[in-house]
Amino acid sequence: MTDVSPAALDDVLSRTARRRTRVGLVSGGLGAYWPQFPGLLDRLRESARFVAGRFEEMGCEVVDAGFISDPQEAAKAAERLRAADCDIVVTFLTTYLTASMVLPIAQRAHAPVLAIDLQPTEAMDHPDTDTGKWLAYCGQCPLPEIANVFRRSGIPFRSVSGHLRDENAWQRIRRWIRAARVRGAMRHGRHGLMGHLYPGMLDVSTDMTLVSTQFGGHVEVLEFDDLRVRVAAVTDEATAERVALARTVFTLDGSVDEDDLAWAARVSVGLDRLVEDFGLDSLAYYHRGLEGEIHERLGAGMILGASLLTARGIPMAGEYELRTSLAMLIADTIGAGGSFTELQALNFRDRVVEMGHDGPAHLAISAKDPLLRGLGVYHGKRGWGVSVEFDVRHGPVTTFGIGQEADGTFTFIASEGEVVPGPLLEIGNTTSRVDFGFDPGEWTDAWSATGIGHHWTLCTGHRAKDLRAAADLLGVPFRTVDGPNDL
């Protein structure tokens, strides 16, 4: 579940259920200690049970490979974790152990590894600490050893050091778990691509093979006819129920035509069936159409249904923006909402960047009840109908998009700012005023220079650290714009 959904939306829009994040856990220490210090192993195993419980509280599916004491047991644990297909493997260093007990896990588990060392309390009680009690506090001792061996083996190293009830440490661990959730969503995701490229938008063009090779998952190629036949099968009763839902979720402007609303509702029900039939986790779409024929009407009627699905955790992006629909899925997965966005104008008087889009929006992050406005024309597109208008919730936000390099490598690109109040466009667009803390023209230059396309997602909260961690687990570069010097 996203942590940004207003209660009112939760009451009427059921969130999609995603696969739980699968966390592999292996705890361990040096077996030579156990006969030397009776009671030490029992204490460390108790700590391991505590850690497993914290991951379960996060909603993770925990694959606990047990407590290891030597390289042979490590090899058995590695095999179990390899078969489990984990999103991340956590090695809990309860005391000193040798790198030979951790390396096979990192080599064979086929998942990113996070090393954690959480001592029992924030500090030892020195007068009451003998060697056996001290050994429960030295989980950090092997950390440099492991980091050195990982570097020499070409394995990415990640760690969190702290104590068992250290909320700062657990906050950092939760960041890696959110990143693992993103990795799972991408590896197992089914991403729809329906229609064709908006003519001339060269930056939007994305090689879907590279999506599967770099992120995992599957891109399902769809025709607008796949939607057409499902919309044709929608009953008047189902259409009326969807109109009633729209009246509950949205404020309707006086410009909304009842026939256009009914058509958008019918398309919305058809979209739901399309998503269900193809098992989609996201969808990017565009169709130009011609002279009011059915495909043009379908393309023009998508905004209501796409916005409702996006609010339920199945993001949809117009203009065939596959990379942005993926970015929206990532944003939603970490609980940041994520709404389809591009530059609209710069306000140098107020030092803000105005950004948003016509088309689908993430209703759960709206500053107030979203508005449906009737439009006689969609700028730059064919057709007419209803469109969504809102301002993202005021406060900290992050712009996030997926760029692509000359060699095909995807990149994560982010910039943190704040949505501030002020005058907004009233043209059926999602428009927000974002203050990045420096001149909006300089921000625009720095943002454009990162390799971002002209679309991205606007997320709630400052999420750069979460996105950096997700990029790390997915093995893609991360870039951020923090100030005017990022040119």
Q: Got the DSSP string for 28-85?
A: E--TTHHHHSTTHHHHHHHHHHHHHHHHHHTT-EEEEEEEE-SHHHHHHHHHHHHHHT
Residues of the chain with pLDDT > 70, as a percent, come to 95
The pLDDT value recorded for residue 430 is 83
173 and 195 assigned to the same domain: no
Are residues 105 and 226 located together in one domain of the fold? no
Same domain, 317 and 449: yes
Please report the pLDDT score of residue 253 as a whole number: 87
- Of the candidates 89, 42, 95, the residue with the CA atom closest to the CA atom of residue 62: 89
CA 77 to chain centre: 30
Residue 487 maps to a domain: no
From the number of C-beta atoms within 10 Å of its C-beta (0-12, 13-18, 19+), residue 444 rates as middle
Domains of the chain: total: 2
Q: Per the domain annotation, does 394 fall within a domain?
A: yes
Tell whether 156 and 241 lie within a shared domain. no
pLDDT score at 359: 73
65 and 172 both lie in a single domain? yes
- Find the domain containing 413 and state its range: 189-480
- Mark whether 201 and 181 lie in a shared domain: no
Same domain, 412 and 277: yes
Shared domain for 177 and 195, answered yes or no, is no
The answer to whether residue 52 scores a pLDDT higher than 60 is yes
User: What residues have CB less than 8 Å from 298, skipping those under 6 apart?
Assistant: 224, 227, 228, 231, 267, 287, 289
Using CA atoms, how far apart are residues 320 and 340, in angstroms rounded to an integer? 12
User: Does residue 486 belong to any structural domain of this protein?
Assistant: no
Domain finish residue from 186, 205, 235: 186
Cross-strand pairs, 353? 346, 434
pLDDT in tens, 398-452: 999 999 999 999 999 999 999 999 988 777 678 899 999 999 999 999 999 999 9
Task: Note whether residue 258 is domain-resident.
Answer: yes
Token code pair at residue 170: 């657990």
Residue at which a domain ends, from 186, 208, 227:
186
How far is residue 458's CA from residue 355's CA, in Å, rounded to a whole number? 9
Task: Report the CATH number at residue 461.
Answer: 3.20.14
pLDDT tens digits, residue range 343-371? Answer: 999 999 999 999 988 778 888 888 888 98
Read off the pLDDT of residues 108-162 as tens digits, 9 standing for 90 and up: 999 999 999 999 999 999 999 999 999 999 999 999 999 999 999 999 999 999 9
Residue 485 within any structural domain of the chain: no
Looking up residue 25, the CATH number of its domain turns out to be 3.40.50.10940
Cα–Cα distance for residue pair 115/219, rounded to 1 Å = 33
pLDDT band at residue 391, thresholds of 50, 70 and 90? confident
Cα dihedral value 203, 208, 214, 219, nearest 10: 130
CA–CA separation, 130 and 136 (whole Å): 10
Same domain, 382 and 408: yes
Distance CA 359, CA 324 (A): 13
On whether residue 2 sits in a domain, the answer given is no
Tell me: do 176 and 194 sit in the same domain. Answer: no
Query: Residue 239 is inside which H or E element, if any?
Result: helix 236-249
Calculate the average pLDDT of the chain. 92
Is residue 302 one of the residues assigned to a domain? yes
**pLDDT range class, residue 486, cuts 50, 70, 90:** low
Last residue of a domain, one of 124, 154, 186: 186
86, part of any domain: yes
Please say if the pLDDT value at position 332 is more than 80. yes
- Express each pLDDT in 31-43 by its tens digit: 999 999 999 999 9
- Residue found under tokens 């105005």: 354
- The rounded percent of the chain whose pLDDT value lies above 90 is 81
Residues 231 and 170 in one domain: no
This prediction has a pTM of: 0.93
Instruction: Please tell me whether residues 176 and 201 are part of one structural domain.
Output: no
